[in-house]
Structure 1
Amino acid sequence: MIDRYTGKTVLITGASSGIGECFSEELAAKGAHLILVARSSEKLNALAERLSGRYGIQAVAISLDLSVSGAAERLTKNMQDCGLQPDMLINNAGIGTMARFEEIDAARIEREVTLNIMTLTELTRYLLPNMLKRGSGLVINVASMTAFQPSPYMAVYGATKAYVLSFTEALWAENQNRGVQFLALCPGETQSSFHGSSGADSLNGKRMQPIEVVNAAFQAVEQQKNYRIAGRGNYWMGQLPRFFSRRSVLRIVERMLRSGLKHT
């Protein structure tokens, strides 16, 4: 597995914490060079310095808010100006909001859709041609368990992740035998800053460790899967729509997620 990543340059968004930080650590340990992107310049610079010092790889930190329109184009131009050309892309950055839909600020909804859908799509579009030209590459798009059914009280987030799953699987099918792999990674609740930033701290489900999610991704890449649900329990949750009506599944999910509301 190490040969797949050694000497490759990997762009990781949302790299300063949680799953993104874990991807950064594990890929650096495998000998990959890193382009780390997130809003927090202090945390990002510290991470880049630590990983380059520990593993002898090159780690470039780029502080950028990817939730604003045109961010993907600015990031791509920044990389071009610095002579950086990623061999692999991990679209990990994402935001969600736990609340009744009508209570969410419109600007927050726009940021959520921009980051989770537009930036992810545009970065993939900007970087894919060079991967195809080289005849090799890897794109991991981090979706979610919410991609498999609508998510009451996280309606926008769930819808964006359904897009990520559908988009990634379509590109997997388009690019078979062209040298570029696509994987939609679908974790459930994971230990990260997401719960605090999304207002979902009250959800009391068992949370996976980021390393479990990252290891599931590496295994799926080796198996050339088009998607991977991280965690056995999450896998069976993802199968509910196959055995129950959509209405029944929605009622189950609504009861589960209602517990995360601050005001019910």
Structure 2
Amino acid sequence: MKITYQGQYKKTALITGAASGIGYELAHIFARNTYNLVLVDKNGQKLSKIADKFQHKFGIFVKNIIKDLSVSTTPEEIFIDLQQASIKVDVLVNNAGFGNHGLFNETNLTAELEMLQVNLVSLTHLTKLFLKDMVNQGNGKILNVASTAAFQPGPLMAVYSATKSYILLFSEALANELENTGVTVTVLCPGPTESAFHETTGMADSELVKNKKMMSAKTVAKIGYSGLMANTTLVIPGVKNKILSELVRFTPRKLVTKIVRSIHEGKTKVI
């Protein structure tokens, strides 16, 4: 069953990490295109304001789920909640994620285990739960948000880069498995984006982002949404990001790793 609102028949998009950044901008685009929304984030105050705004502006239904995806039981709880509410998810957007910065032997283990749970395990779990119905019904879309960090090792952000590589490879494999099922998978790999991410990871002074004109979260979301609707498997916003992602394939991996570390240390400038 799909949610109806004001007598209209609409599809529903579930978006994790929807309270800010790319997640919020994607939610705004889906709302503008008259999708009902299921918004997941641990920031209930922000979700409440977003829901009120979108419902009044776009005439859609918004269900907020205030949950922390670093808790292992959260994906199952979300799925059961929606089943009990008879809400069918047509589009799953796995956007939630975070990173950290520093030498692996010095960084906080608890934070990294939570990162693995959010970036990798919860994404996989939610995909497993909602994919079965999509395949059975012969239609559905999944958008997984990775990063250009997925294309190479990331010294000083080792765990974060590894999780994004997983998302990229998992999504591409899944897209192949789902050919001719009516279900598509798109993986979005943005480069540095204007958001609070760099402050929270301690990367604000890195040459990767310092004094750089970064792509806005709004632009990244727009490109990601267009790629999703076009059934494109891999979406890399920005010509420079596309070129750099391809160059990695033709550069010795040891050299690439050294360059990335130098960038993360602030010693090498990024063009």
| Range class of TM-score, shorter chain | over 0.9
1:166 maps to 2:173: no
1:208 maps to 2:215: yes
Output the amino acid matched with 1:69: S
Aligned to 1:3: none
Check the 8 A contact 1:240/1:249 in 2, yes or no: no
- Deviation digits for residues 176-211 of structure 1, max 9, x if unmatched? 110001001000111112122222222324321012
Output the amino acid matched with 2:87: L
Residue 239 of structure 1, CA deviation: 1.4
Q: TM-score, normalised by structure 1?
A: 0.93
C-alpha change, 1:223 and 1:88, in structure 2 (3 Å) is closer
Q: Runs of 5+ in structure 1 lacking a partner?
A: 1-5
Of 191-200 and 11-20, deviating more is 191-200
What are the residue-to-residue correspondences of 1:46-61 with 2, within 5 Å?
46-61=49-64
**Among candidates 40, 55, 60, match of residue 37 of structure 1:** 40
Q: What is the percentage of aligned positions where both structures have the same residue? A: 37
**Among candidates 83, 86, 94, match of residue 83 of structure 1:** 86
Residue 99 of structure 1, CA deviation: 1.2
1:232 maps to 2:239: yes
1:252 maps to 2:255: no
Aligned to 2:17: 14
- Give the Cα–Cα distance (whole angstroms) in 1 for the partners of residues 93 and 149 of structure 2: 19
- Give the Cα–Cα distance (whole angstroms) in 1 for the partners of residues 97 and 228 of structure 2: 21
Aligned to 2:153: 150
Residue 82 of structure 1, CA deviation: 2.2
- Look up the SS of the partner of 1:187 in the other structure: coil
Output the amino acid matched with 2:171: T
1:94 maps to 2:94: no
Residue 240 of structure 1, CA deviation: 2.1
- Give the Cα–Cα distance (whole angstroms) in 2 for the partners of residues 172 and 18 of structure 1: 26
- Look up the SS of the partner of 1:83 in the other structure: coil
**Among candidates 187, 191, 201, match of residue 188 of structure 1:** 191
Q: Runs of 5+ in structure 2 lacking a partner?
A: 1-8
- Give the Cα–Cα distance (whole angstroms) in 1 for the partners of residues 250 and 69 of structure 2: 38
- Give the Cα–Cα distance (whole angstroms) in 1 for the partners of residues 128 and 260 of structure 2: 33
- Give the Cα–Cα distance (whole angstroms) in 1 for the partners of residues 84 and 265 of structure 2: 47
RMSD: 1.3
- Deviation digits for residues 86-120 of structure 1, max 9, x if unmatched? 11100000010011111211111110000111000
Displaced runs of 4 or more, over 3 A: none
- Give the Cα–Cα distance (whole angstroms) in 1 for the partners of residues 213 and 147 of structure 2: 15
